[in-house]
Amino acid sequence: MSKYKLHLFGWITLLVFPLPAFWVLWYFENFSILDFLQLSSVLDIRSGLGVEFGILYAFFALLFLNAPVFDELPDKMETMIKNMNLKWFDTVFLSLCAGIGEELLFRVGVQHYCGIWVTSIVFVAIHGYLNPFNWRKSLYGLIVLPFILLISYGYEHFGLWFCIGAHFSYDLVLFVAITKKEV
């Protein structure tokens, strides 16, 4: 996959993923775009707490990923990312796109109707980390699931931008770790 395609997927995640959630909330719940985006809390201290939480959990996850049990985990995504020679801008851009687009879809949209647990499990499963045919990926899914559950509960208590900050920083740390790792 080229950088162009990866950036295109980033833009799709950022701009297209939130649309169904917004449309449903606007149509059925009378949400405005301001209600949906919760822009008044972007620069709130809770956003910074989300960033800190995401960084801490990413380092926690990386500790587990360095365990020998994960040595045989075939990860095409990791190899693809490493081979793309991503620059700092690319990793920040893709992390922002995933953090914003996916949190708007899942936290604001899906979680509103399906609740914390169902949304969290679906989120981890859609990313391929609850895989009945690959127990190592499922093991990683069990490492990621508490993070997703915590940011889902965080949405209820700290708001959307806590979740976006946590998701962004978690992805950023993992992207940087992957690009620096020897494949």
Cα atoms in the 13 Å half-sphere on the side-chain side of 148: 25
| Residue in this structure with the two tokens 């701009």, named with its chain if needed | 15
Q: Are 166 and 53 in contact, with CB atoms under 8 Å apart?
A: yes
Element holding 88 (H helix, E strand): helix 88-103
Q: Are 6 and 84 in contact, with CB atoms under 8 Å apart?
A: yes
- Residue 1 is predicted with a pLDDT of 66
Nearest to 112 by CA among 5, 13, 30, 11: 30
- Residue 136 is predicted with a pLDDT of 82
Measured torsion, CA atoms of residues 167, 168, 173, 174, in degrees rounded to the nearest 10 = 60
Could you list the pLDDT tens digit for every one of the 183 residues in the chain?
678 888 999 999 999 999 999 999 999 999 999 999 999 889 899 999 999 999 999 999 999 888 887 776 656 567 767 777 788 999 999 999 999 999 999 999 999 999 999 999 999 999 989 988 888 888 989 999 999 999 999 999 999 999 999 999 999 999 898 888 764
- Residue 75 is predicted with a pLDDT of 62
Query: Would you list the domain boundaries of the chain?
Result: 3-180
